[in-house]
Amino acid sequence: MDYVETCVEEISRDFQAAHIVLAADLNQLTDDDLMARTGLVHIVHQPTRGTNILDRIYVSNPQLYSSVSIVASVVRSDHKAVVAFSDVGHCIQQKTKMKRTYRPKSPG
């Protein structure tokens, strides 16, 4: 746990605009302990294995995530899959097309 805490602190310090996402099967750690030590917020609120929330996602900016869904896994597993969608569309550059006319080079 100290390693995770140190990594989150270093990333936050060195890359202040970074959005941190920590996703894993974290059945050995409590939400309260991890959130208190890292400042991250969990965004999974539905069971992922039986009645337990084992597969979790912690983020530094929960407002960016408009949808978190728990779905049946496509691989053989007793865990369900977690799918989180981010609203960071403004960070993606849109392609633009420009038509330009060039004069062919003359042989001389």
* Number of domains present in the structure of the chain: 1
Asked whether the predicted pLDDT for residue 43 surpasses 90, the reply is: yes
Question: What is the CB-side half-sphere exposure of residue 66 using CA atoms within 13 A?
Answer: 5
Asked whether the predicted pLDDT for residue 90 surpasses 60, the reply is: no
Residue 5: count of CB within 10 angstroms of its CB:
14
In a domain? residue 63? yes
- Predicted confidence band at 34 (pLDDT cuts at 50, 70, 90)? confident
In a domain? residue 30? yes
In a domain? residue 105? no
In a domain? residue 94? no
More confidently predicted of 56 and 25: 56
pLDDT of residue 91: 52
pLDDT of residue 60: 92
In a domain? residue 92? no
DSSP state of 76: S
Average pLDDT, the chain: 83
Query: In terms of DSSP H, where are the helices of 1-108?
Result: 2-14, 31-38
Q: Could you list the residue range(s) of the whole structural domain that residue 76 is in?
A: 2-87
In a domain? residue 17? yes
Q: What percent of the chain has pLDDT over 70?
A: 89
pLDDT of residue 108: 67
